[in-house]
């Protein structure tokens, strides 16, 4: 089974592949307006239980994103328990992405 977390560097490589994972942003809308990654599907953590089974493909890789990686890890583990075996949390969240990959994304 996949590691529950993926590093920003590993996600960067996967994002640029022919079959990139779905990037699931579980932060609140104000957070996504403050700092976001292109192509992310915004689904606030509180909406995941009601939306996941209709909007996500359980066979597709999913990388879950939040601010620092705690909410995303919770959601990734919940998704795995629901049959989304390829769900992983972006370790360190968008904060780690901003610090190590793309410094143009604001810190907050």
- Residue 74 structure tokens: 């919770």
Model confidence, pTM: 0.96
CB neighbour list of residue 67: distance below 8 Å, 6 or more residues apart: 27, 31, 93, 94, 95, 108
SS3 for 6?
strand
CA distance 51 to 25: 13
- pLDDT tens-digit profile, the chain (108 residues): 789 999 999 999 999 999 999 999 999 999 999 999 999 999 999 999 999 999 999 999 999 999 999 999 999 999 999 999 999 999 999 999 999 999 999 999
Catalytic residue among 23, 66, 79, 94: 66
Report the CATH superfamily, name and number, of domain 5-100.
Rhodanese-like domain (3.40.250.10)
- Is 17 marked active-site? no
SS3 for 90?
strand
Q: For tokens 């990734």, name the residue.
A: 76
């Amino acid at each position: 089974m996949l590691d529950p977390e993926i590093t920003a560097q590993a996600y960067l490589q996967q994002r640029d592949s022919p079959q990139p994972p779905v990037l699931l942003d579980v932060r609140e809308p104000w957070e996504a307006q403050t700092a976001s990654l292109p192509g992310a599907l915004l689904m606030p953590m509180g909406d995941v239980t009601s939306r996941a089974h209709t909007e996500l493909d359980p066979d597709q890789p999913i990388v879950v994103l939040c601010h620092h990686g705690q909410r995303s890890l919770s959601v990734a583990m919940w998704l795995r328990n629901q049959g989304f075996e390829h769900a992983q949390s972006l370790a360190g969240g968008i904060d780690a992405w901003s610090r190590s990959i793309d410094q143009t994304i604001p810190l907050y």
